[in-house]
């Protein structure tokens, strides 16, 4: 009697407290309009009392278990007429196949439910996992959360299901919470509420039933209800103000369902009962005082938080008596049905109450269109689930969640790459991480990994390396796909982390941010990024953030001890360097792009036009295709990788001397109206003294196309002249062509002489010529008084982070990463591998502006993107915009010359397959091609960058299949098609 009075007193006070707080009227869930529908009436009439009880019971199902489990589920459906199935682990195809079979066996269409808080990937393989709710809590644009809800609904419905047990609406204000933590939107009730509503509305707007959980609030627990019954000892005022707040707002917003947790909350029910078995909490509070009319679903009835001390069947009956409409994951259906039936027979539970709940369940099924049930098709299932927009959305959410907690000296994004010597350490990893691989895309970095249980020897080896570098990038990784608030690093590793040279350290933290508080001194790092989880997208995008490929505006959704408070987070502007992303992010269609490009590349490879190649496509500064194809050589097993470097041939012209010329032009040190003789006295009395650079660079200065300089090294019998080439190096023969060919130190004079004495063509019209580019390195050295290679390295390649853009690559790289070119049996008498293919450039010691540069697509693209940006990249101006506009415009169209200054341009009139570009390339576009099978092209109108690297001259330059198939320009046209 005394306890009853206390209960009434508490209930009255609770009612007053909550009623005063409720300013809005609870919104009736949409599905309730069907409770008296013709279809629901017909189903009710067809069901026996026992079958109606069955509708209240939903059981666990798996799509990765054997035939015995399938048989068990089929028998349960047929015998007990259960209302629904809750699916757990498996795969999408098996999931749909089984659900179709189960529906076929059911008297009443089954409700298919899944616990997919962060997407189907939480339960089914080969599907997408969106970021955990804690990461989503950092996002400032709730529209993204809404879009996630819509996409999630689309995917869940595709696998034949109708209800998602989400969102988690718990306010996680206990850092030691073992079960909610990363599953919550955070510790701020308003943020949790806004995001829960956005998530819910997205799903419901796409026709998916939703369930907010875990009522009345599981956020401030230190016990996992899967294993025991947590107790929450807060006052009514505190519960009403904090824990209940998101649920009240979700009810007002019209959520379909509420899941009740297994919690002991004395202030709401002093009996000690789990909330799932509490009439005071479910019937009086949730349904009565809060006015919730939707589906009330219990948390799983096999969890120890409710089963402990409660007998099977009896516990299910108690849950129904407490007010639950649905019992989730009932382990013993027979006992549950028997106990509930007995309660009806004894008058403890009325048939009217059961019928009302069944009608509610059936109404929800009708809202989910189960009254029009059709088997779910398997066709294109995986493609539909893993659609490009969903994949992009996952990356957008991850990017938007990135939270910069420290940015001392604006270290993020990194600038002045030429001043940095960088090492990276992935802590908690045994091999090179995705984080490190993405860092590699931006500049040269030396990588180390440190396992969780690293030995002192391993740690000491890394510590010895630290002084050699002026920047240390740390990735702190997790050992579990779910970011628990734990630190499992060995004591030695923890000590290493806590004693890092923080004054030169930038940390990306891929663990639960709560655990930052368990490692001393991390807050002293020069830069600190909270990435929330250790997935590929988080690692990839955190690395891009460090270099300015993406920005950040995430705000910490929780406090981290005394180090950081909820709401902390700095805004970082991105877009200063490449963003590596998906085509849809740049307004391109991935299906058109990938399928078309792959088809054309496979065509030319199978036709032996090229053994392989690399492609890079960027739009709006976003790299949307970056792929290696085929092999380095025919009949070889060495596949092309993205790190491999190719001989750029004539693309060297616009990649070495031309940027130097433009920079010197900016500085007033190079005059386009002057000519070669103004910078090289040797040419003052030549027939080329009067030609100005504007005409020469536009290829209409009457220069001959090319001179076969190497032939002057030979006697008539084919042997080398004694004064040109020797087998061994010496002071007189220091220029290496091959290991058995060393050129005389003065042979360059013969090249200059040949150029000087070469006759001019009759007409001043467009005729492509490489003669000037043999001279430009010397001209640039005369102007700058610096070594040419050092000049372009220091002023361009080093600053761009383009370490693989280089001359004489065999001096820097292992040959396995240098793609071979022609088998030269005329001049060098061996296959060319590691040195320049062009004989003229080879005679110049591998350093010419005519040819000689090597690169992979990624590093060459940085230079080309700088051009496309009209002179800027990485937050730095390399060349003035006005200069690039001058050099990239058609100079002499009146003379039927389509060229710019150094740059190639589209023909003045498109002539079909014989044109040098795709039909849709704009007149503003510019680029160049290379004899070895290279093409680079930039289109400012579409902000489109295209690089095609190949070694079509292997084994012979006579192979013109690449040209005949028109592969390069056909691929270029595909890019425009993908934009359209």
**In contact, 206 and 163? CB cutoff 8 Å:** no
Rounded (10°) angle between helices 771-784 and 657-666: 50
Whole-angstrom distance, CA of residue 691 vs CA of residue 699 = 11
Q: Which residues contact 247 (CB under 8 A, 6 or more apart)?
A: 169, 212, 215, 216, 217, 258, 290
Whole-angstrom distance, CA of residue 400 vs CA of residue 135 = 9
Whole-angstrom distance, CA of residue 785 vs CA of residue 119 = 62
Whole-angstrom distance, CA of residue 363 vs CA of residue 970 = 56
Nearest-Å Rg of the Cα atoms of the chain is 35
Residue 758, SS3? coil
Residue 510, SS3? coil
Half-sphere exposure of 69 (CA within 13 A, CB side): 14
Q: Which residues contact 746 (CB under 8 A, 6 or more apart)?
A: none
Residue 928, SS3? strand
Calculate the CA 656 to chain-centre distance.
32
Catalytic choice (115, 299, 478, 534): 299
**In contact, 188 and 219? CB cutoff 8 Å:** no
Whole-angstrom distance, CA of residue 26 vs CA of residue 150 = 23
838 is catalytic: no
Calculate the CA 233 to chain-centre distance.
43
Residue 961, both tokens: 């299949």
Write the secondary structure of 270-294 as one string of H (helix), E (strand) and C (coil): CCCCCHHHCHHHHHHHHHHHCCCCC
Query: In 820-917, at which residue ranges do the beta strands (DSSP E only) sit?
Result: 823-824, 830-831, 853-855, 872-873, 876-877
Whole-angstrom distance, CA of residue 664 vs CA of residue 671 = 9
Catalytic choice (226, 234, 817, 823): 226
Q: How far apart are the first and last CA of the chain?
A: 77
Q: What does the DSSP assignment read for 600-615?
A: HHHHHHHTTS-SEEEE
Residue 863, both tokens: 């230079």
Q: What does the DSSP assignment read for 218-233?
A: -TT-SS-TTTS--B--
Residue 471, both tokens: 């920047």
Question: Which residues are 259's β-sheet partners?
Answer: 297
226 is catalytic: yes
Q: Which residues contact 130 (CB under 8 A, 6 or more apart)?
A: 118, 119, 121, 136, 148, 152, 393, 394, 397
Q: Which residues contact 150 (CB under 8 A, 6 or more apart)?
A: 202, 203, 205, 206
Whole-angstrom distance, CA of residue 87 vs CA of residue 99 = 9
Half-sphere exposure of 291 (CA within 13 A, CB side): 17
Residue 936, SS3? strand
Nearest to 136 by CA among 126, 149, 123: 149
Catalytic residues: 226, 299
């Amino acid at each position: 009697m005394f306890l009853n009075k206390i209960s009434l007193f508490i209930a009255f006070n609770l009612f007053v407290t909550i009623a005063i707080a409720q300013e809005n009227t609870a919104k009736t869930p949409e599905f309730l309009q069907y409770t008296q529908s013709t279809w629901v009436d017909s189903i009710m009439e067809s069901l026996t009392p026992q079958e109606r009880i069955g509708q209240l019971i939903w059981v666990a199902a798996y799509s990765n278990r054997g035939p015995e489990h399938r048989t068990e589920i089929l028998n349960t459906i047929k015998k007990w007429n259960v209302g629904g199935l809750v699916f757990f682990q498996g795969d999408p195809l098996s999931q749909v196949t089984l659900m179709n079979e189960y529906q076929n066996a059911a008297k009443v269409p089954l409700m298919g439910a899944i616990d997919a808080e962060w997407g189907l990937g939480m339960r089914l393989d080969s599907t997408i996992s969106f970021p955990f709710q804690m990461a989503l809590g950092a996002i400032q644009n709730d529209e993204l959360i809404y879009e996630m809800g819509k996409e999630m609904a689309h995917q869940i419905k595709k696998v034949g299901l109708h209800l998602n047990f989400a969102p988690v609406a718990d306010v996680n204000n206990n850092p030691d919470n073992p079960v909610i933590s990363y599953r919550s939107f955070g510790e701020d009730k308003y943020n949790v509420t806004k995001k829960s509503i956005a998530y819910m509305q997205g799903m419901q707007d796409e026709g998916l039933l939703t369930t907010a959980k875990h009522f009345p609030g599981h956020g401030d627990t230190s016990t996992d209800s899967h294993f025991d019954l947590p107790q929450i000892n807060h006052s009514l005022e505190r519960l009403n103000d904090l824990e209940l707040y998101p649920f009240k707002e979700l009810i007002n917003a019209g959520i379909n369902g509420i899941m009740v947790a297994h919690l002991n909350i004395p202030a709401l029910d002093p009996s000690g009962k789990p909330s799932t078995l509490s009439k005071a909490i479910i019937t009086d509070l949730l349904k009565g005082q809060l006015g919730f009319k939707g589906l009330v679903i219990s948390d799983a009835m096999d969890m120890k938080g409710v089963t402990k001390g409660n007998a099977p069947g009896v516990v299910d009956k108690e849950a129904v008596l407490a007010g639950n409409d649905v019992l989730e994951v009932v382990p013993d259906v027979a006992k549950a049905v028997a106990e509930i039936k007995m309660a009806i027979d004894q008058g403890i539970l009325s048939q009217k109450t059961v019928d009302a709940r069944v009608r509610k369940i059936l109404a929800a099924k009708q809202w989910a269109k189960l009254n029009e049930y059709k088997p779910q098709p398997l066709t294109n299932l995986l493609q539909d689930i893993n659609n490009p927009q969903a994949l992009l959305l996952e990356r957008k959410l991850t990017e938007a969640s990135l939270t910069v907690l420290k940015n001392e000296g604006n270290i993020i994004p990194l600038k002045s790459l030429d001043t940095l010597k960088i090492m990276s350490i992935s802590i908690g990893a045994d091999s090179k991480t995705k984080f490190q691989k993405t860092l590699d895309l931006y500049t040269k970095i030396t990588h180390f990994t440190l396992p969780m249980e690293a030995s002192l020897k391993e740690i000491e080896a890394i510590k010895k390396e630290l002084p050699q570098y002026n920047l240390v990038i740390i990735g702190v990784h997790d050992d579990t796909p779910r970011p628990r608030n734990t630190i499992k690093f060995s004591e030695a590793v923890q000590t290493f982390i806590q004693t890092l040279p923080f004054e030169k350290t930038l940390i990306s933290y891929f663990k639960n941010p709560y655990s930052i508080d368990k490692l001393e001194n991390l807050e002293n790092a020069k830069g600190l990024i909270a990435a929330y989880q250790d997935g590929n997208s988080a690692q990839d995008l955190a690395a891009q953030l460090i270099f300015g490929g993406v920005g950040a505006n995430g705000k910490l959704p929780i406090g981290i001890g005394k180090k950081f408070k909820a709401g902390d987070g700095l805004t970082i502007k991105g877009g200063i360097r490449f963003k590596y992303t998906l085509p849809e992010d740049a307004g391109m269609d991935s299906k058109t792009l990938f399928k078309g490009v792959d088809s054309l590349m496979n065509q030319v490879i199978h036709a032996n036009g090229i053994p392989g190649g690399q492609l890079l496509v960027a739009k709006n500064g976003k790299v949307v295709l970056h792929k290696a194809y085929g092999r380095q050589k025919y009949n070889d097993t060495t596949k092309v990788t993205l790190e491999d470097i190719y001989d750029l041939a004539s693309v060297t012209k616009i990649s070495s001397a031309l940027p130097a010329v433009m920079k010197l032009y900016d500085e007033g040190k190079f005059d386009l109206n002057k000519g070669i003789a103004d910078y090289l006295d040797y040419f003052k009395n030549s027939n080329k003294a009067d030609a100005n650079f504007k005409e020469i660079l536009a290829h209409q200065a009457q220069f001959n196309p090319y001179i076969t300089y190497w032939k002057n090294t030979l006697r008539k019998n084919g042997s080398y002249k004694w004064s040109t080439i020797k087998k061994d190096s010496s002071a007189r023969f220091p220029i290496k062509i091959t290991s058995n060919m060393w050129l005389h130190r003065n042979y360059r004079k013969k090249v200059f002489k040949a150029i000087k004495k070469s006759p001019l063509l009759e007409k001043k019209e467009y005729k492509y010529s490489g003669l000037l580019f043999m001279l430009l390195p010397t001209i640039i050295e005369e102007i700058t008084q610096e070594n040419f290679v050092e000049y372009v390295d220091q002023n361009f390649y080093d600053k761009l982070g383009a370490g693989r853009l280089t001359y004489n690559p065999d001096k820097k790289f292992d040959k396995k990463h240098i793609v071979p070119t022609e088998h030269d049996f005329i001049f060098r008498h061996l296959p060319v591998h590691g040195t320049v293919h062009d004989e003229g450039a080879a005679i110049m010691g591998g350093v010419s502006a005519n040819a000689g540069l090597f690169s992979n697509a990624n590093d060459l693209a940085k230079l080309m993107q700088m051009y496309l940006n009209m002179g800027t990249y990485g937050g730095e101006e390399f060349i003035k915009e006005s200069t690039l506009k001058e050099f990239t415009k058609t100079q002499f169209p009146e003379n039927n010359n389509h060229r710019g200054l150094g740059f190639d341009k589209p023909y003045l009139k498109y002539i079909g397959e014989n044109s040098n570009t795709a039909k849709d390339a704009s007149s503003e576009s510019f680029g160049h091609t290379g004899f070895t099978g290279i093409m680079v092209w930039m289109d400012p109108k579409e902000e489109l960058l295209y690089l095609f690297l190949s070694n079509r001259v292997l084994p012979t330059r006579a192979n013109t299949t690449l040209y005949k198939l028109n592969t390069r320009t056909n691929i270029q046209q595909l890019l425009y098609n993908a934009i359209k």
